[in-house]
Amino acid sequence: MEYVLSTENLSKKYGQYKALDNLSMHVPKGAIYGLVGKNGAGKTTLIRVICGLQKPTDGSYAIYGISGADRAVCQARRRMGAVVETPSVYLDMTAEDNLKQQYTIIGRPSFDGIRELLRLVGLENTGKKKAKNFSLGMRQRLGIAIALAGNPDFLLLDEPVNGLDPQGIVEMRELILKLNRERQITVLISSHILDELARLATHYGFIDNGHLVKELSAQELERACRKCIRTEVSDTRPLAHVLDKLQLEYAILSDTQAEIYGEVGVTELTLLLAEENCSVRSMTECDENLESYYIRLVGGGRNEQTFSC
C-alpha cells in the first residue's frame, strides 16, 4: 500500500513531558484518515511536527516516502496543505484578497484559479465582505481554500468542525468529501467529534497520551463494532447445529462460547437448544459504535446489555 504519511516511533518531548510517545501511524493514499483523541492527546503536536513547525525529539516520519530528516522533505511538503488550530486568515481582507495574498506568498505566477477555489469552498458570493465579518464556518472554509492554493494532494485539518453550528458542520463535511472524491486529495482530520468523523473517515488512528493505540480501516472498525449476541452454552456443537438450521452467521470462540450475528430470536433459539439438551448460561448483546469502541480502547466500559438465562 502507498502511504502519503507514515511515522515510526515518533516522539516529541516538552521538557520531561512526552506529548508524542513512540507514535507509529500510516495514512494510505486517497484516505480520509480520522485521528481520534481527547483533549491533550497529542493531535495538534503530531500535525505541527508533520508540517515542520516543530522538530521531533525521537523517531522518524516520511511524507510521500521522503524522510522528515531529508532536505527533500521540503519538496514533499509543497504537496501538502494544512489548517492547524485556527485558520491563518487576514481578517481585514476579503476572501479573494486573502487568496491573492497566499498566491503571492507561495510564488504562483498568476491569480488564475482563484475564482474556482472560491467556488469550491462555497465563498464565491462573498464579494467585498471582509473575513472578520464571516461566520466561523466561512472562515474555516477560507482557511481550507488558502491551504489549497498550492494545489496539494494531502490536506491536514486540525479539528475542522470545532465550534461550527450544524449547518457549518454539514458544509464542512460536504467540502471534505468533495475534495477527497473529486480531487483525489488525501485528508487527515484530527477530531474528538466522533459522530462526525464516522460519516467521513475511511481509516482511523486512535491516539491516547501521545501514543497510537490502534489503527484500522473503516471496514475493520465496522466488523469490530458489528452487532452480535455473545452466547455461553454447555456445548457449542449443538449450538452450531441449531444456528446452521436457522441460517444465522456465527463464530465459535471456544467449547462453550460463540458470537451470533444478525437478528436473533432469543426465545426460539433457547427452545431449540433445549431440544438438543444444550443449556444456555448467558447471552450478552454487544452493540458498539465508534464512541464506545474508542472508550473501550482508551479505558472504560463496553456498551453491553446482559440477559440472564
Contact residues for ligand ATP (CB under 6 A)?
14, 17, 19, 37, 39-45
Give the DSSP letter string of 145-161: HHHHTT--SEEEEESTT
Query: CB 17 → ligand ATP: shortest distance, Å?
Result: 6
Query: CB 208 → ligand ATP: shortest distance, Å?
Result: 10
Query: CB 51 → ligand ATP: shortest distance, Å?
Result: 13
- Residue nearer to ligand ATP on the CB measure, 14 or 307: 14
- Residue nearer to ligand ATP on the CB measure, 43 or 283: 43
- CA-wise closest residue to 88 among 78, 96, 80, 98: 98
- CA-wise closest residue to 198 among 211, 210, 207, 189: 189
- Residue nearer to ligand ATP on the CB measure, 43 or 203: 43
Query: CB 98 → ligand ATP: shortest distance, Å?
Result: 24
Query: CB 7 → ligand ATP: shortest distance, Å?
Result: 14
Give the DSSP letter string of 205-241: EEEETTEEEEEEEHHHHHHHT--EEEEEES-HHHHHH
- Residue nearer to ligand ATP on the CB measure, 37 or 137: 37
The angle formed by the CA atoms of residues 39, 45 and 51, to the nearest 5 degrees, is: 140
- CA-wise closest residue to 98 among 155, 158, 139: 139
- Residue nearer to ligand ATP on the CB measure, 35 or 198: 35
Query: CB 39 → ligand ATP: shortest distance, Å?
Result: 3
Task: Tell me the C-alpha distance between 285 and 23, whole Å.
Answer: 34
- Residue nearer to ligand ATP on the CB measure, 55 or 302: 55
Side-chain-side CA neighbours of 159 within 13 Å: the count stands at 19
Query: CB 191 → ligand ATP: shortest distance, Å?
Result: 9
The bridge status of strand 211-217 relative to strand 203-208 is antiparallel
Cell of 218: 473503516
- Residue nearer to ligand ATP on the CB measure, 57 or 151: 57
Task: Tell me the C-alpha distance between 47 and 188, whole Å.
Answer: 9
Task: Tell me the C-alpha distance between 36 and 190, whole Å.
Answer: 6
